[in-house]
């Protein structure tokens, strides 16, 4: 009698398909995965599209924490304990497809399947490093550099040979919310970037690799003498 061969666990297939405790969901632009204060009972794995995490203060002020793209997890706080609540709201920035993984199934798979645990832990470490970079950016960089960095993150540069990338639809008010600046200052710097040939800005924003080179070499041109006074929001 031939011994049955054990089938190796395929983490990518697990995250790409529905199954026991896993369902594929589709969200339209501006539709929420979950809202701040709701019971956290599942983890989402974003397969396609873009999303964002936002929080609302007691006085109603909304702030964007981070942007999410394909390959990111969201809702990981559900793994902390039974009855945990979401500390932020996850909303689709564009049409999204995601795998909804129930808390019990995610915990089981992480315990029993090291390849999945490796992917998830690697993601959490990357998210922590990104959060640290965002904090340093907010504390020490100018509005201009923070805006440039955000545009590059949204454009997701990285593939060899790419010279430009369209970013998801976003308003100047939305950029101001993430950067921590006034819409007026964002409008000024967007026009400046366009004048320098770093972006195209006509409805949709197209980011050129030249912006990446400017950031990497810290070679922003001197401030325009005619620039109006720019007042950032207080940083915390």
pLDDT in tens, 39-62: 999 999 999 999 999 999 888 888
User: Dihedrals φ, ψ of 89, to 5°?
Assistant: -110, 130
Cβ-contact 119, 72 below 8 angstroms? no
The end-to-end CA distance of the chain, in Å, is: 68
Strands 96-102 and 42-48 turn out to be antiparallel
Reading the block at residue 14, the tokens are: 């697990």
Residue-wise pLDDT tens digits, 104-115:
999 999 999 999
Please report the pLDDT score of residue 115 as a whole number. Answer: 94
- What average pLDDT does the chain have? 84
pTM: 0.75
What domains lie within the chain, and their CATH numbers? 11-137 (2.60.120.10), 141-217 (1.10.10.10)
Residue 75 has pLDDT above 90, yes or no: yes
d(CA 168, CA 156): 11
Residue 224 has pLDDT above 50, yes or no: no
Residue-wise pLDDT tens digits, 136-159:
877 778 889 889 988 888 887 655
Alpha carbon 191 to chain centroid, angstroms: 24
Please report the pLDDT score of residue 36 as a whole number. Answer: 95
Please report the pLDDT score of residue 2 as a whole number. Answer: 47
Reading the block at residue 102, the tokens are: 């129930």
Burial of 143 (C-beta count, 10 Å sphere; 0-12/13-18/19+): buried
Cβ-contact 40, 75 below 8 angstroms? yes
Q: Cα separations (Å) of 105 from 85, 113, 140?
A: 18, 11, 42
pLDDT band (50, 70, 90) for residue 235: very low
More reliable by pLDDT, 103 or 83: 103
């Amino acid at each position: 009698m031939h011994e049955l061969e054990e089938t190796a666990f395929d983490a990518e297939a697990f995250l790409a398909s529905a199954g026991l405790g896993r369902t594929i969901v589709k969200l339209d632009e501006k539709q929420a995965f979950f809202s701040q204060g709701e019971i956290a009972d599942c983890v989402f794995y974003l397969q396609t599209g873009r999303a964002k995490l936002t929080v609302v203060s007691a006085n109603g002020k909304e702030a964007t924490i981070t942007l999410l793209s394909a390959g990111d997890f969201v809702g990981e706080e559900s793994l902390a304990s039974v009855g945990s609540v979401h500390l932020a709201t996850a909303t689709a920035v564009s049409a999204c497809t995601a795998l909804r993984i129930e808390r019990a199934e995610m915990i089981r798979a992480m315990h029993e399947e090291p390849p999945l645990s490796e992917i998830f832990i690697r993601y959490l470490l990357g998210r922590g490093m990104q959060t640290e970079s965002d904090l340093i950016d907010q504390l020490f960089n100018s509005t201009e550099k923070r805006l440039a960095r955000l545009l590059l993150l949204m454009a997701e540069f990285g593939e060899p040979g790419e010279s430009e990338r369209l970013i998801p639809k976003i308003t100047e008010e939305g950029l101001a919310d993430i950067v921590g600046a006034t819409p007026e200052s964002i409008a000024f710097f967007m026009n400046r970037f366009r004048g320098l040939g770093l972006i195209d800005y006509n409805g949709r924003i197209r980011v050129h690799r030249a912006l990446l080179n400017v950031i990497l070499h810290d070679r922003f041109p001197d401030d325009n003498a005619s620039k109006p006074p720019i007042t950032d929001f207080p940083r915390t």
